Chain A
Amino acid sequence: MSQSSPALTIENLRKEYDDVTALDGVSLTVPEGSFFGLLGPNGAGKTTFINILVGLVRKSGGTARVFGHDVEADYQQTRNAIGLAPQEFNVDRFFPIREVLEHKAGYHGIPAEEATARADEVLKQVGIYDKRDTRFDWLSGGMKRRFLLARALITDPDLLILDEPTAGVDVQLRRDLWELVTDLNDQGKTILLTTHYIEEAERLCDEVAILDSGQVRAVATPDELKNRGTDQIVVELREPPTTLPALLAGDDRVEAIDRDGHQLTVTARNGGLVAPQLVRELDGEGIEIVDLEITRTSLEEIFVEMTRHDDTADNAGDDDSDGENGGDNDTDEPLAEQQVAPDGGQR
């Protein structure tokens, strides 16, 4: 299916729970066909944002459109365009998973025969077809995540929303899911991903929005965001002179130059562009370079910087309704993965 409007057009979206503001004037546009990431710490408002789109939360103000359809006035068209894999395991426990999928397809107007065929197809796609006659409660944690994705795909949605899809899954499954959603995006589906895993956003997303305390702090590509940080150029010198000449003078991208014995460290924005000039100047001064390494600012560092709260009371806006404290914890969390929890806590 092809739609002419952006996948999402959000203007000044607000959500208040009594005296708590979960969304505070969010505005952003997600182009059709893009892979869009929504990053933010716990309680930032990510799940509230998603739930407004699918009708599980009522907005307090502003507008939200999905492929041009208003989420409230045109709720049926909106919901038909969206497939949601939520963070919580909100699955019908009374029926085997294939039947759950058939029902979900049926609610979206897909006839019974086609629904059965599609259910088999998506179960194969996510790799749990042999569990088709099992009820959800009897699946392992990883299989449950796969099932949520299958349920989101059963209606062949134009917009696929993945709310922390890899929370609590092992590295292999995470990579399988990445491959699957990348293929889906290549096939033209718009994907909205919320995640704590910065590596995930960096690897998958065309564009990310950083949401914090209900506000959008930035919308940019991962590269653009990284360019906002400072890089480090570390140069190993063979025989450094006692006094270094003035290097990179007048280059406003350079923030600091430090020397420690044979090692010269230049801190600069766009380090990749500054390095050639540095090499030329050192060469011009007859100083031999043994080794050179550029360390780029990670997206994670940018993220932490943007969402850092000097006063932890700033997190007073956190609310359980955001759902990020209630996810599954029944599988091992790989510690090696880059997981950002700016509040210093464990999810």
Chain B
Amino acid sequence: MSVVDRAAAAAGVPTGFYTLVKREILRYVRRPKNTFIPPFITNVLYFSVFGVVLGDRVGEITGVPYILFILPGLVVLGAVSNAFENASFSIFHGRWNEYIDETLTSPLSYTQMVWAYLLSSALRGVLVGTLIGVLGFFIIGGLYQPVPVEQPLYLVAFLLVITMLFSSLGIVGGLLAEDFDDLTMMNQFLLRPLVFFGAVFYSLEDLTPLLRDFSLLNPMVYMVNGVRYGFLGISEVDPQLSLALLIGGTAIVAALNVWLFKRGYGLTD
């Protein structure tokens, strides 16, 4: 029995819920080549190409070097992608190979099942987001200037809420998917466009008024600006409003998850 097991038991965390969270976390932690190495490599490339090579030509945006401007967006991209992919894969792979039956035939409540998948996937998003942040600290700090964290509480709050939101969406995706192609479609044709049009690589001020208003319909704009506010203390939308909207959205999708589990959508015949 590990120290963590003992701490969880002492804190009164229900054993069944704790076990499912632990199983989900162990699944990706034990596979670093799949979980941590790819985002590490990808973001080294992002920082090199967009930050160093192109960044010097772009100059400054909203008063900060371009490479520093895109750091929060890259953190969001890595965090939400991993949260979404982990939740959707875990649910769908379990359905595909039917080992999710081990969970479904247990006395865990539907709410416990959902929160176990949700929290473990959100944690993966937070870990990958942190990895990218640390990478940025070293690259940007070494080449340009130290990376500030102007609003640490906001940074933590936004990171938590955006990973939970995308974990919840990932659960929906995992339940809706009929085959692995559907998961790829969701990632490539839904998640990626939202991120790339979510003010990761540009400022909203660079857009026409019409496109700017249109961009405000994209939830990614609020996420990127929220995390940017945490790092740099600047945001193009009200961070408190962003946080409130994201918390509300997360609550709605999480409630949808529980409802789908209760209904057995994608899980039972």
Q: Which residues of A are in contact with B by a Cβ distance under 8 Å?
A: 17, 48, 51, 54-58, 75-77, 79-80, 82, 84, 86, 88, 90-95, 100, 102-104, 106-113, 116, 151, 321
Give B14's nearest chain A residue, CB to CB.
A109
In the complex the two chains form, what is the Cα distance from A144 to B268 in whole Å? 24
- In contact, B15 and A109 (Cβ under 8 angstroms): yes
In the complex the two chains form, what is the Cα distance from A109 to B106 in whole Å? 9
7 contacts across the A-B interface (CB closer than 8 A) = A48-B269, A56-B269, A58-B269, A90-B101, A111-B9, A112-B2, A112-B15
The answer, yes or no, to whether B109 is at the interface (CB within 8 Å) is yes
In the complex the two chains form, what is the Cα distance from A80 to B15 in whole Å? 14
- In contact, B5 and A112 (Cβ under 8 angstroms): yes
The listed residue (B15, B26, B105, B109) touching A54 by CB distance below 8 A is B105
- In contact, A79 and B107 (Cβ under 8 angstroms): yes
The answer, yes or no, to whether B108 is at the interface (CB within 8 Å) is yes
Give A75's nearest chain B residue, CB to CB.
B107
Could you say which residues of chain B place their CB within 8 Å of the CB of A80?
A: 106-107
Shortest 4 CB-CB distances between A and B: which pairs? A106-B19, A107-B106, A90-B98, A80-B107
Could you say which residues of chain B place their CB within 8 Å of the CB of A75?
A: 107
Give B113's nearest chain A residue, CB to CB.
A107
Could you say which residues of chain A place their CB within 8 Å of the CB of B9?
A: 111-112
With contacts A17-B269, A79-B107, A107-B108 taken as known, whether A90 is within 8 angstroms of B99 at the C-beta atoms is yes
Could you say which residues of chain A place their CB within 8 Å of the CB of B193?
A: none
In the complex the two chains form, what is the Cα distance from A102 to B1 in whole Å? 11
In the complex the two chains form, what is the Cα distance from A88 to B102 in whole Å? 12
- In contact, B102 and A104 (Cβ under 8 angstroms): yes
- In contact, B269 and A55 (Cβ under 8 angstroms): no
In the complex the two chains form, what is the Cα distance from A233 to B99 in whole Å? 53
Q: Which of B76-109 contact A (CB under 8 A)?
A: 97-99, 101-109
Could you say which residues of chain A place their CB within 8 Å of the CB of B1?
A: 111-113, 116
Could you say which residues of chain B place their CB within 8 Å of the CB of A77?
A: 107
Could you say which residues of chain A place their CB within 8 Å of the CB of B14?
A: 109
With contacts A56-B104, A56-B105, A76-B109 taken as known, whether A107 is within 8 angstroms of B19 at the C-beta atoms is yes
- In contact, A103 and B19 (Cβ under 8 angstroms): yes
In the complex the two chains form, what is the Cα distance from A110 to B5 in whole Å? 12
The answer, yes or no, to whether B256 is at the interface (CB within 8 Å) is no
Query: 20 new A-B pairs (CB below 8 Å) besides A57-B269, A80-B107, A103-B22?
Result: A54-B105, A55-B264, A58-B268, A76-B109, A82-B105, A86-B101, A88-B98, A90-B102, A91-B99, A92-B23, A92-B99, A92-B102, A100-B102, A103-B23, A104-B106, A107-B108, A108-B106, A109-B14, A109-B16, A111-B1
Q: How far is the CB of B7 from chain A (nearest CB, A)?
A: 12
In the complex the two chains form, what is the Cα distance from A109 to B103 in whole Å? 12
The answer, yes or no, to whether B137 is at the interface (CB within 8 Å) is no
With contacts A58-B268, A84-B105, A112-B1 taken as known, whether A107 is within 8 angstroms of B20 at the C-beta atoms is yes
